Amino acid sequence: MSGVEGLAVGASRGHKVTKFERKAKQSRRAGRTSKRVKVIRSIIREVCGLNPFEKRMIDVLKVGAGNPDKKIYKIAKKKLGTHHRALRKREELKELYQQLKAKGM
């Protein structure tokens, strides 16, 4: 008897309707970087180079004494203010340093 639709009782009770599909809200996209912004940021990085604190972080990586990961995290945290921003900056600069080493600079 499960094939009957529109019954007032049972697991699939009630009037059958078609589900209304809504478009995704624009606010759900907030915070994601677009292709345009990525290109602009990469051009700015190319033209301007690194910030002084980023240069300092790269130097700490080059020397590598003690625990360089912890030290560059502390530098980034002090400048950027939050834990997650500091972690993101640390990963970004470690990747950049790997690229510089691969080029031979």
60-80, pLDDT tens digit by residue? 999 988 899 999 999 999 999
Query: What mean pLDDT, rounded, does the chain reach?
Result: 89
pTM of the model as a whole: 0.66
* Cα gap 68→74, rounded to integer Å: 10
pLDDT of residue 5: 66
- The answer to whether residue 57 scores a pLDDT higher than 80 is yes
Closest CA to 77 of 66, 88, 62: 88
* Cα gap 28→62, rounded to integer Å: 40
Contacts of 87 (CB under 8 A, 6+ apart): 73, 76
Average pLDDT over residues 45-74: 93
